[in-house]
Structure 1
Amino acid sequence: MTGGLQPETAGRVREAFLVLGSPAGLAAEATVCAQLLQTVSRGDNRVLEDRLRDWSEDLCRRQP
């Protein structure tokens, strides 16, 4: 992954796609996160592992 986290970009995306804060959006995020974590378990995308695990923990804290 090049660069770093882009909080300003993430904020603009969240403003544009309000569904991301909804239960459906949370379910979608959890699905994508789980799929990406599966790729890590198969040996791919290892560079993303820490960020994906952080994202997963954040999703657990945000569950309704």
Structure 2
Amino acid sequence: MIFKVYYQESASEVPVREMTKTLYVEGESKREVIRKISERNHNIQFVEEISGNYLNYEKQNEDFKVLEL
């Protein structure tokens, strides 16, 4: 499964929508994805599974790249 993770660069950073970044991670569950990226010291805002038409739409974005962790 592919998950879209919304995050701030630093865990100490105050969440501001305009500064929110995204990354895509493959994993079995939200918990596994959070565990995989926890060592990066990001302030994770939201993790959602993407599939079907939503995944196809995201793949059209030139910045779409699934992290290999």
Bin of the TM-score, shorter chain as denominator length: under 0.3
Q: Which is richer in helix?
A: 1
Question: Which structure carries more relative contact order (alpha carbon 8 Å, separation 6+)?
Answer: 2
TM-score, normalised relative to structure 2: 0.24
TM-score, normalised relative to structure 1: 0.25
- Structure 1 or 2, whichever has the larger Rg, is 1
Q: Which is richer in strand?
A: 2
